[in-house]
Structure 1
């Protein structure tokens, strides 16, 4: 069953059971029968940027799974102790080695089926210097008509790029909040 990945209590190590907690919660949770701890399973946060330089956007070719060899925006999981903007900037530095000026939050993409929420910030590139890290096979700038649309790694990247180029043509950027419905596994 979806959302049942916790097997042992993180505090005492006992096997957990899935049931409604005694506190009036309306969802089944992993509850430790030994110490009473309720464990919550929450979505993972993925942070990234839409790095752009004039009319071009930066994409990275993945050197890791999932989607090895596919193109993506620089992004990755949020770490403890960092803000969303700090995480997005860190991922851009790690994956592309790009010099950027962080902009506004641009898109929020919910992926309920996989338990993730993706946030992308606008990021103006200060120059065309790139120094890709070990998770990237290649980093390149693309004009809209050059983007390898069929080779993009994730639906959130495709959706964000389509909205970026549409907003750019309009001459102003909006905040986009989108639910991505993925086909069943």
Structure 2
């Protein structure tokens, strides 16, 4: 088993300036980088697909079909896979809605606009329930994460390009 210590790796002047996990025996640097989350705002007849989480964090709260990318898949493939795993939904992606940088938890979230490519949804193993909600019926007090609210608001606003972190909501900033 390697003996990792947290320190600034040795290297050329002006090189790495952050503490990293470095093997004290061989000098191998174990980089810790942000995780990429992919998901979708799935809309059918002006109703939005939400999934009630069957897993932590935020068990029982509503979220978009989304989750961590896997190695060997594109962001599009990941978004479609997550929709299948959580809502048994087959999707057609309509472009990127938003990219959120959430430094405090080491995530970058890529959220697509989407619609069903085949009819039908059902709760997958990571969901207690899945439903389409009209805007006025969204359970806002039971939304799992701030970025879900951001994405829903970006969709509702008809954001013409790719939305980013709301400037008025500092929860994506490091240290908060």
Q: Which TM-score applies when normalising by structure 1? A: 0.85
Q: 1:21 aligns to what?
A: 9
**Unaligned segments of structure 1, at least 5 residues:** 1-12
- Is 2:72 aligned against 1:81? yes
Query: Contact between 2:87 and 2:121, CA under 8 Å: does it hold in 1?
Result: yes
Q: How many residues align?
A: 169
Query: Contact between 2:80 and 2:90, CA under 8 Å: does it hold in 1?
Result: no
Q: 2:162 aligns to what?
A: 175
- Indicate the SS of the match to 1:177: coil
Query: Contact between 1:53 and 1:126, CA under 8 Å: does it hold in 2?
Result: no
1:14, distance to aligned residue in structure 2 (A): 2.2
Q: What is the 5 A alignment of 1:27-42?
A: 27-42=18-33
Q: Which TM-score applies when normalising by structure 2? A: 0.89
Q: 2:155 aligns to what?
A: 164
- Indicate the SS of the match to 1:113: helix
RMSD: 1.8
| Residues 125-147 of structure 1: per-residue CA shift (max 9 Å, x gap) | 24551122111111111111111
Q: 1:7 aligns to what?
A: none
| Residues 139-168 of structure 1: per-residue CA shift (max 9 Å, x gap) | 11111111111110000001100110111x
